[in-house]
Structure 1
Amino acid sequence: MLLVCLVLVVFAIGCQGRRAVPDDGGSEEKCVCNPVVNVGSPPCNYDGHMADLQTVLIAQQAHITRLQNNSKGSESLLAEQKKITDSLKERVEQLEERIMSKDAVITCPARYELFKGTCYRFSTDQKPFNESQHTCNEEGGRLATVKTNETHNFLTNHVRATTKAHTWIGLSDVETEGLWVWDDGTVLVGDGIWGTNEPNGGTRENCVHFYHGVYNYRWNDVPCARSYFYICEIQG
């Protein structure tokens, strides 16, 4: 801003120092520099110079305004980003505290076993899928959801060591054919751990179990009315 003001002053003085003098070649006048400033006479082409300076001044002011707005926008953005970062850090710390405290105090109901923060019970009786669901619900849980390879391996290793038989898990497409949904209401993500060419039962086979035998406890869809062992889970 200071630079613009200096330009205006110098330009104005320079114009006032120019006088209109006759041209040797004719009657037209030229503007020449006169070292003596004559305040009483108007500067040469005053209006034109002032218009040019006003245009420059307006452009400079607009540029400064843009810079100020950009600066304010950047400051606001940085402040918002810092706020979000601080909030996320706080949430992470809270989750870490909860995880530590959970690991320290998690206890499972009788006959349930703890694995990765979840309690599992392996049945010793066999029931149809719906009755197995009902039994787990009455105990405050649901049929087991198997969303990781770790969980799959833990559960199937236990079945191998005990019943060595077909065992229900909490996965079915009863509501919509081909849309496999876990008992917790979430949809199956990815390919699943199916046996070869499974699932293949169409509308006749809507419930899933660990297949004992040729599939080596990988998943298989069968009619829900069959009676198998089952696994209940309760969140720790």
Structure 2
Amino acid sequence: MFMLAHIFLALQVLFASGQVILERNSGLENWFPNNVLTTLGVVKSAIECGILCKQAECMSIVYETIDRICHLNDRVTNNVSDYSWKLNTRHYSVVSGIINGYDCDIIDDSCLKVLSSKLSWTAGSAECGSEGAQLLNIDSSNKQLAIQQFMADKGLDHVWLGINDITQEGDWRTEDGTNPIAYQNFNAGQPDNYYPGQDCGLITQNFGYLWDDGVCQQSVNVVCERKKVGSL
């Protein structure tokens, strides 16, 4: 047996209907309590295991990532002494919080929520941030296609993207301005900075769901994005 540093990594995440929050304790991975678990058997995912834990009013779960076996734990602890080790396990605390309004069936690693009001880019960014989320981030062609269908289904004509060139014209960066964007899908001739202040990215139905540069102060639909279980 080897000792594992008690490093607690809390990843607040939610499942499809937005009713349970899990906090992952990566410091306990491969640690398998041998006397405090109730084994339920094979389930689809750690999310489903968390749902079952919440229904049973347990405190935490141990999920075997290869065999997909769900174990319910009646307590939360960081004490690994006098217990056994088993590879490919993940540990989550089940938090009694409820976050409503997110759809986790659109993107593989994210959950999406359409805000009820159109907002400026800055206001939308702040509103999403207040929920532990961010503005919509499209970083692949597959995600682009999924978002196109999502917008069509929701009847959204324009949606802010979490990108901007506020600091340097033409230098498009992520929402916080720290990293250059790795993927882009601007319409032909865009971004053109046609009007002053067109420094914020959006995806628009008018361009066949391609991207445009918009005036950051205009009011546009906002989609907040949060990561799912186990996604960094």
- Aligned position for 1:226: 218
- Aligned position for 1:182: 174
- Distance in structure 1 (CA, Å) of the matches to 2:214 and 2:168: 15
* TM-score normalised by L of structure 1: 0.52
Q: Does the aligned pair in 1 maintain the 2:114–2:224 contact within 8 Å?
A: yes
Letter of the structure 1 residue corresponding to residue 151 of structure 2? V
Q: Does the aligned pair in 1 maintain the 2:128–2:224 contact within 8 Å?
A: yes
Shift of 1:105: 5.5
After superposition, residues 80-95 of structure 1 pair within 5 angstroms as none
- Aligned position for 1:212: 205
Q: How many residues align?
A: 137
Unpaired runs of 5+ residues, structure 1, are 1-93, 95-99
- More RCO (CA 8 Å, sep 6+): 2
Instruction: Give the 3-state SS of the residue equivalent to 2:128 in structure 1.
Output: helix
Shift of 1:158: 1.2
| 1:172 partnered with 2:185 | no
Quote the RMSD (CA, aligned, Å).
Answer: 2.6
Q: Does the aligned pair in 1 maintain the 2:156–2:221 contact within 8 Å?
A: no
Shift of the 223–156 alpha-carbon distance from structure 1 to 2, 3 Å rule, reads same
Per residue, is there more strand in 1 or in 2? 2
- Distance in structure 2 (CA, Å) of the matches to 1:210 and 1:112: 20
Letter of the structure 1 residue corresponding to residue 137 of structure 2? T
Letter of the structure 1 residue corresponding to residue 181 of structure 2? L
- Distance in structure 2 (CA, Å) of the matches to 1:141 and 1:126: 17
After superposition, residues 1-236 of structure 1 pair within 5 angstroms as 109-114=99-104, 115-183=107-175, 185-190=178-183, 192-201=184-193, 204-213=197-206, 215-236=207-228
- Distance in structure 1 (CA, Å) of the matches to 2:125 and 2:193: 21
Percent identity of the aligned residues? 18
Shift of 1:179: 1.3
- Distance in structure 2 (CA, Å) of the matches to 1:128 and 1:218: 20
Per residue, is there more helix in 1 or in 2? 1
CA-to-aligned-CA distance 1:84-105 (integer Å, 9 cap, x gap): xxxxxxxxxx8xxxxx965655
| Structure number with bigger Rg | 1
* TM-score normalised by L of structure 2: 0.53
Q: Does the aligned pair in 2 maintain the 1:106–1:117 contact within 8 Å?
A: no
